[in-house]
Structure 1
């Protein structure tokens, strides 16, 4: 049998330190390192001002965008996949009421252990929200964006929402402002949104066909009347599209969120994506339905399932691909709470209780924030230079063979997390000089207690119940060829190997090691497929014997 390709040594990122453990540490390391790393030049022909025209990844990098748009999304963690590795967001729950009912929504307060849209532990007044923003932004200096996303509909509470934005714009001038809306009354507030300098708006559009919509929305309250059935959905979608058109005409960037509901709107969302792209939407975020019965939603109580990670990726690929809308897709959404604080994928809200921002005067550390952001940008420049140096792409030249690779990271663009500490994995599509984030998958944390899990605990000899957690994680990552992490014990390594998943320990720039390992695994899978398909036997040298594909070969895609 032909020898398998050897694992190439990852190319180190110039003088970039590879032991960076968090965005804050990345910033500190970058400040001490050289600040002069070059950045790849942008193409001479910029993309259109609204609506990404191809799959070049304008949600991933600012390269190739119109300069004005590139500046808007450069440090916005929701609008830029690259930025979400470095910058944090904050939501303030100032909008309690709602003007529509969705079958997937149940607005609960005091659900601190739930991480899903529409929940919060405490409602805030605009003045309380300002105090909390000043405290959080001074402590989490990479926080770059403030959004109002609930727990109800921000524009059904326009007075509270816009008062909050006014206060923050006046006292925290470096923070970007965002609003998320169901779009029912959006067109009525476009002038106010523009006047306040809110240049990012997210609209949830789950359908453009009222026949589909009546299975999602029981009622819509509009102009003093409650509408039901198909009429309600017709009013809603007409108003949503009218608002989207008005925003894009003003040059306000629009992201469209859609909840993927299998058997209800999943096939229809390709047409939604095509429609909103044609109207100038910048980004489309297709999210999985969250429908656990304990949430008390209609879908949860009636057994409506959510999509599998594979189904979600397939639909996103269709929306992005030539047979769909050719729309730029957001792949890194975490479906945040209405009071979320921190990097996407983490929630630091518990660190900022009322006693931290309501007792005494809160001073806004603008100078400290500017220094931290400058250090982050120096680090990002080094990472970009490494990607350019290694000629790693996520653009049009996708290699013929790719694999999926799961990454354990705490941010900063680095593989820097222990396997047992991960509560989510970033899923990359990888191949020869190719690395592209295509999703994230949440898992239960395997290790608890000690700051570092030893091999005994990770082998299942420590706390009880670890086996089932590990088995579920392996199942969640079953279509991945490898997991990259800073450390992993023998027990999890063996469990992953039994599922055909290779565990790779490393500290490295994510794009660099993902592309390196992706090329190796794709080549290994191709070789494995060739060897497994026709293997000469001692008895029948002239008669190749078909065999089933090996574990890596089965995971190589195109």
Structure 2
């Protein structure tokens, strides 16, 4: 039976402890579990908490935007993959910012963005240091925004070292989503990732530092789960260091009540000046990342749509409009207008109902096919859950696995150099795109020229714009049925 469900049904929690038990004991039917569930897959209470959060719901990331404010520059640990001093406006990497803000500046920026970006649903603080080590500034920014925009979700990211000291305050402030970066549960492995930590007014190194960090991370996670706060765990996949260990991390955080596990590829470029970048530590390939994710598929629900955002990111996942809202472009006095966001949410509610119906039709289409084929399909999309982007303009592709059993979201792949620059592709090269599409069988897009289509086909990748502007699931199921089963007439939405 074909299925687009990614979260198992959970029993309705009646308390924070029950919520924790439901989350920690929930099973997965697929490795995408937790990323694309909808209102029929989970209790209404849980669905209402994640349905507009683009990081906690794969479906929501098609419709809703996040915003990070860079109010927390200080950090209490050093990671071998991090260097917060480097910044490029076109770079997407955690810890990177173009401007550091005071809480008052952050407040003005949030109100400005809320008035101009109707998709905004989440305000996060992710650095550029640690949001809880720099808690006074983080708390002040949250308090200012919460008074003006009470419906915005407050989300915080932390390395976890200072987390146990602030759990009660986070709960009192209705910070309902917390992300903890946990790269190991074996302190020996941690010694290869963390040169030092600063804890209780003292710097620690080596195994002692890793042991302290590990214990604090586990304690903080348990405390959050006890209070019913949803926790996403980020883990950086570092080949040769923790790649074989992350399944243990997944099991450990599941046992302590984590809601999602996001396994991210190491970004390792010498130009960034990180220890790993300068010493030649490579990042994982697409296939290596998929293999580790599959190894964790029976544990905590996996997030596969992360974009490893900057600490000052603005907009939908996969886009960053931060450069549109620098301090010099923000008025000194700004008043919040809730009507734009309210109207947008009404439109999204209707669109989601239509999308659910389209998924059900796609399920029927796939059920009527009779094939053992499993293929990876890359989608060029600008959002809205549709095939709606020109191939040459795609800066990333969303990748799905398609089979007669259903459509499963695998993850996104960033394109280093888009094929078309400014609309002209005559002198463009497909080298970067072909590298991005390694292992992909088919590309679905809104438009593609004859030349790139022929180059893709020469590389063994089919490409078509025959399903332009369809919902992604509709397009994939129709393509699969046409190729492996009965022909399906594509209908433009």
Same fold? TM cut 0.5: yes
1:138 aligns with 2:115: yes
Give the one of 12, 24, 29 matched to 1:55: 29
SS at match of 1:50: helix
Indicate the residue corresponding to 1:405 in structure 2: 377
Gaps of 5+ in 1: 1-41, 451-456, 525-558
Question: Structure 1: how far apart are the matches of 2:113 and 2:272?
Answer: 29
* 8 Å contact kept, 2:378–2:442: yes
Q: 1:522 to 1:101 in 2, by over 3 A?
A: farther
- Alignment of 1:513 onto 2:487: no
Q: Separation in 1 of the partners of 2:29 and 2:145?
A: 35
5+ residue gaps in structure 2?
1-7, 14-20, 487-493
In 2 relative to 1, CA 499–523 (structure 1 residues): closer, same or farther, beyond 3 Å?
farther
Q: How does 1:262-301 map to 2 (within 5 A)?
A: 262-301=239-278
Residue 447 of structure 1 is matched in structure 2 by 420
**Number of positions where the alignment pairs a residue of Structure 1 with one of Structure 2:** 463
Q: Take 2:115 and 2:22, find their aligned partners in 1: how far apart are those partners?
A: 33
Q: Which moved more, 1:85-94 or 1:376-385?
A: 376-385
Distance 1:64 1:489 in 2: 40
Are residue 258 (structure 1) and residue 220 (structure 2) matched? no
The residue aligned with 2:442 is: 482
Say which SS state the counterpart of residue 234 (structure 2) adopts: strand
Q: How does 1:211-226 map to 2 (within 5 A)?
A: 211-226=188-203
Question: Comparing 361-370 with 423-432, which one deviates more in the overlay?
Answer: 361-370
Q: Which residue of 2 aligns with 1:344?
A: 317
- Mapped to 2, the partners of 1:420 and 1:261 lie a distance apart of 31
What is aligned with 1:28?
none
Residue 113 of structure 1 deviates from its aligned partner by 2.6
Indicate if the aligned counterparts of 2:75 and 2:133 stay in contact, CA closer than 8 A: yes
Q: Secondary structure at the match of 1:390?
A: helix
- How far does the alpha carbon of each residue in 1:351-403 deviate from its partner, in whole angstroms, 9 at most, with x for none? 112133243x2121112211111111110110011112332699xxx985421
User: TM-score by structure 1 length?
Assistant: 0.80
**Residue in 2 aligned with 1:391?**
363
Q: Is the 8 A contact 2:34 2:303 kept in 1?
A: no
TM-score by length of 2: 0.90
Partner of 2:18: none
Q: Give the match's secondary structure for 1:336.
A: coil
Tell me the alpha carbon deviations over residues 451-502 of structure 1, each in whole angstroms, 9 at most, x when there is no partner.
xxxxxx54xxx33xx22xx022113213111000011111111111011110
Cα offset, 1:193, TM superposition: 0.1
1:224 to partner: Cα distance = 1.0
Question: What is the root-mean-square deviation in Å for CA atoms of aligned residues?
Answer: 2.1
> Where in structure 2 are the equivalents of 1:294-313 lying within 5 Å?
294-313=271-290
**Distance in 2, Cα, partners of 1:503 & 1:200:** 39
Once the two structures are superposed, what CA deviation does each residue of 1:200-241 show, in whole Å capped at 9, x if it has no partner? 000000000011000000001110111101110000010000
In 1: Cα distance, 2:250 partner to 2:481 partner: 32
Larger Rg: 1
Aligned to 2:5: none
Structure 2 CA distance for partners of 1:299 and 1:109, relative to 1, 3 Å: closer
Quick one: which of 327, 333, 337 aligns to 2:300?
327
Return structure 1 stretches of 4+ with deviation > 3 angstroms: 42-49, 398-401, 518-524
Give, in angstroms, the shift of residue 517 of structure 1. 2.1
